[in-house]
Structure 1
Amino acid sequence: MRTNVKLTVGVVATMLAGLVSAQDVQVVKIGHVAPMSGPQAHFGKDNENGARMAVDDLNTQNIVLAGKKIKFELVPEDDASDPKQGTAAAQKLCDAKVSGVVGHLNSGTTIPASKIYHECGVPMITGAATNPDLTKPGYKEIFRIIANDNALGAGLAFYAADALKLKKVAVIDDRTAYGQGVAEVFRETAKKKGIEIVDQQFTNDKATDFMAILTAIKSKKPDAIFFGGMDAQAGPMLRQMEQLGMGNMKFFGGDGLCTTEITKLVGGAKTISNVVCAEGGSSIQKMPGGTAWKNRYDTKFPKQYQIYSPYTYDATMLLADAMKRADSWDPKVYAPKLIESSYKGVTTNIQFEPTGELKNAAITLYVYKDNKKFPLN
């Protein structure tokens, strides 16, 4: 009888130990926001994949903060690239008591959302939103780990003037914070380099018919078009340029159209070979951990890679790195550590300017040959 009692006590002790162990695990929530629906959903899925991959990697590290085992959990939200939905998603994540946020994709959603993250004291790191206005308010919770539009637009203008010796360019933008921003930088830099801006047209980020504005531009006989917008519009625009006999014009754009998806969106149009686009950061092949990371990504998420997933991966890891250095997942405690970061990421060694901008941000220009994307530098 005593033996049975001892066995019973032993079983109970084991069960209690298990309960204590379970209680010692602290779930730390990391929010992620991007367009998971609509014409930019391929960007959003790629971004979320990067963040999810980082969370999976972190959960293999047996991280302990403040004496508790940490389990990271990704909390995804869809902003549909809409500013109102973006601010609603930001408030939802604040209410859910996330410890940090990775996102957003679009400048038009990131900028208004940044005020909400600032007010609720939650750090947000974007590896995709490039409008310089994001960091101008000086919010100490807001960081960017990719080059902004000042670098992208200017880099393309220098290439147009110095390498291609272009004289006349027309500019189109989609009226979003991103599209307007990068187009304005390109336009002003191009003018300083002696390029004549022969026409300026506007569209929106839902449009698919550009025949009228392209016809107007064609009459001005530019050497090239610069488009400030995303690939969902650039694809049909390039297709319609071919239909209008504008197949000899160069076509410039920022990272929003610098995707693998655009090769499908052009529908076989040969004008894809006229594209010169710019991304913040180095090409994946030149990133410190790019090639090995991309191989892992492709195994886990076949044929889903676009542009920004290495940055959302690094952004997630960076949040965790600051938590480790602070020994806390509390945003009030670890957030001040972010500005002190010197993190060797997949994309680069991440250090910040006092504004929250990435130090020494690189850009890469790309062209398309045989429907494949190749870096120029």
Structure 2
Amino acid sequence: MQALHNTVTRISIGALVVALATSAHADQVVKIGHFAPLTGMSAHVGKDDQNGARLAIEEINAKGLVIDGQKIQLALVGEDDAADPKTGTVVAQKLVDDGVVAVVGSDFSSTAIPASRIFSEAGITQISTGATNPVYTLQGFKTTFRVVGTDAQQGPALANYAVAALKVKSVAIVDDSTSYGQGLATEFEKRMKALGVKVVSHDATSDKAVDFRSVLTKIKGENPDVIMYGGEDAAGGPFAKQAMQLGIKAKILGGDGVCTETLPQLAGQAIDKVICSEAGMALSKMPGGVEFQQKYKKRFGQPIEMYAPYAYDSVYIIVDAMKRADSTATAKILAAMPATNYKGVIGETVFNPQGDLQHGVISMFYYNKGVKTLIDIVKL
């Protein structure tokens, strides 16, 4: 893992060095921060997010950017939050000290929420690409924005689908004890109870767990129609696999944390039992999704995991605020953010007073022979 961390660090520093080397042709180098898990169990998701931001910055630099009469060269300053809340605050302060004018990240609620206070105190715009816990934008900070829906929308949508399409009468719930997993599971549970579904149990595990047989054996005895897992794919995949090994026939429901392209590798044959949601539009249905997917694959040699389109648009949204403010000053960028009306890959981005999307969607998926397949889109 240390070798991977060193490699990621070199890549991030390398990008900054390249930007500085080419700054001879620019009047000003402007740093945009990014933080996400780049090492550990969720590194594939974080790297995907960073790649989206990097692609946007490369495009903008290639086209040329002029703000207030000055030629601007953008530089991405990337940091690894390791999906750890304490590390999240450390890298947030580092980004502030590095002089970034705005930040994209994190895609995890567990790190985006504690880091948000640091950015708020510094007056720096923070756009999260995947922090779905409602708390993120409900803290009273004027600096927090997100380009995905919330668990207060995603949890009920997942519950509604389970009742309407699967005719669920009972459910067992397990969360990974993170702010994301707990938040999603809680919202799901509230809606299930409101719909008259029996919640037979709600257990907690860890986002670092690898053995779920104890809790799954208990759940097998409870015989629920479905099991809802609140957490990320790194643990959610083995959770589904071990449920199948124990002979549990119930389907596994999950949120955007498990709804990745890597999940089939993690869940094995149990992938056929997984139904999951995303707090955004399916890539295939995004206005610029198909074209973006082609560009991304050409640049990075791999398919999109999940959050890359949101990080890509987030960089363009920050630059749009710069253009409207005709300034690269952090305070002026932040002042321009509430009036955002940007049409990009993911669609139209307009923020409400809390910094959430005015018009969000929830997409539902299943895996057809290991291929992530859209079931339905719920407009909010």
Which residue number corresponds to residue 167 of structure 1? Answer: 169
Which residue number corresponds to residue 344 of structure 1? Answer: 343
Give 1:301's aligned amino acid.
F
Which residue number corresponds to residue 272 of structure 1? Answer: 271
Q: Is structure 2 residue 203 aligned with structure 1 residue 201?
A: yes
Correspondence list, 1:16-27, <5 A: 22=24, 25-27=27-29
Q: Is structure 2 residue 66 aligned with structure 1 residue 64?
A: yes
**What is the alpha-carbon distance in structure 2 between the residues aligned to residue 335 and residue 84 of structure 1?**
25
**What is the alpha-carbon distance in structure 1 between the residues aligned to residue 201 and residue 81 of structure 2?**
33
Correspondence list, 1:112-151, <5 A: 112-151=114-153
The secondary structure found in structure 1 opposite 2:48 is helix
Give 1:215's aligned amino acid.
T
Which residue number corresponds to residue 20 of structure 2? Answer: none
Residue 304 (structure 1) shift: 4.6
Correspondence list, 1:326-365, <5 A: 326-365=325-364
Residue 303 (structure 1) shift: 2.3
**What is the alpha-carbon distance in structure 1 between the residues aligned to residue 299 and residue 250 of structure 2?**
39
Residue 243 (structure 1) shift: 1.1
Give 1:134's aligned amino acid.
Y
Give 1:219's aligned amino acid.
G
Paired residues of 2:101 and 2:330 also in contact (CA < 8 A):
yes
Give 1:260's aligned amino acid.
E
Residue by residue over 1:167-206, the C-alpha shift from the partner in whole angstroms, topping out at 9 and shown as x without a partner, is 0100000000000000000001011111100011110010
Structure 1 unaligned blocks of 5 or more: 1-20
Residue 274 (structure 1) shift: 1.4
Residue 62 (structure 1) shift: 1.5
Give 2:63's aligned amino acid.
Q
Q: Is structure 2 residue 188 aligned with structure 1 residue 186?
A: yes
Paired residues of 1:42 and 1:304 also in contact (CA < 8 A):
no
Residue 46 (structure 1) shift: 0.2
The secondary structure found in structure 2 opposite 1:42 is helix
Which residue number corresponds to residue 301 of structure 1? Answer: 300
The secondary structure found in structure 2 opposite 1:172 is strand
Which residue number corresponds to residue 92 of structure 2? Answer: 90
Give the number of equivalent residue pairs.
354
Residue 239 (structure 1) shift: 1.2
Paired residues of 1:289 and 1:347 also in contact (CA < 8 A):
yes
Give 1:227's aligned amino acid.
Y
Give 1:256's aligned amino acid.
G
**What is the alpha-carbon distance in structure 1 between the residues aligned to residue 198 and residue 26 of structure 2?**
65
**What is the alpha-carbon distance in structure 1 between the residues aligned to residue 154 and residue 341 of structure 2?**
24
**What is the alpha-carbon distance in structure 2 between the residues aligned to residue 358 and residue 337 of structure 1?**
16
The secondary structure found in structure 1 opposite 2:227 is strand
Residue 262 (structure 1) shift: 0.7
Paired residues of 1:45 and 1:304 also in contact (CA < 8 A):
no
Residue by residue over 1:17-72, the C-alpha shift from the partner in whole angstroms, topping out at 9 and shown as x without a partner, is xxxx9385210100000000000000011000000000001112221112210000
Which residue number corresponds to residue 12 of structure 2? Answer: none
RMSD (Å), alpha carbons: 1.1
Which residue number corresponds to residue 17 of structure 2? Answer: none
The secondary structure found in structure 2 opposite 1:306 is coil
Identity level (%):
45
**What is the alpha-carbon distance in structure 1 between the residues aligned to residue 195 and residue 76 of structure 2?**
46
**What is the alpha-carbon distance in structure 2 between the residues aligned to residue 250 and residue 213 of structure 1?**
16
Residue 242 (structure 1) shift: 1.3
Q: Is structure 2 residue 178 aligned with structure 1 residue 176?
A: yes
Correspondence list, 1:212-231, <5 A: 212-231=214-233
Residue by residue over 1:337-368, the C-alpha shift from the partner in whole angstroms, topping out at 9 and shown as x without a partner, is 11100000100100000110011101100000
Q: Which moved more, 1:314-323 or 1:53-62?
A: 53-62
Q: Is structure 2 residue 78 aligned with structure 1 residue 76?
A: yes
Give 1:237's aligned amino acid.
F
Q: Is structure 2 residue 254 aligned with structure 1 residue 253?
A: yes
Normalised by the size of structure 2, how large is the TM-score?
0.92
**What is the alpha-carbon distance in structure 2 between the residues aligned to residue 119 and residue 316 of structure 1?**
21
